[in-house]
Amino acid sequence: MVDFWAPWCGPCLAAAPEVKLLAKEMSGRALILKVDTQAHPELAELYQIRSIPHFVVFRGGKQFTQSSGVAPRSEMRLWLERAGARMD
């Protein structure tokens, strides 16, 4: 899962602790990355990110699902489960 965010984005900063906890929970089962859209606008353009925070879940190198806006960790975990992440 990729979290597209920016340092000036209040909702992104609010979501950050939940994303960090999810990454810890899913260690070894799913990879969670963050892309600063301010530092890497070319990636935001490539994936057509129009609002942040924006989450894209990949499966087998292809986009599986995506969602804009702050989401609870339980919902983000569900996205990963649906994409095939093992749940121990």
Q: Catalytic residue positions?
A: 9, 12
Three-class DSSP category at 49: coil
- From the list 59, 60, 49, the residue with the least C-alpha distance to 3 is 49
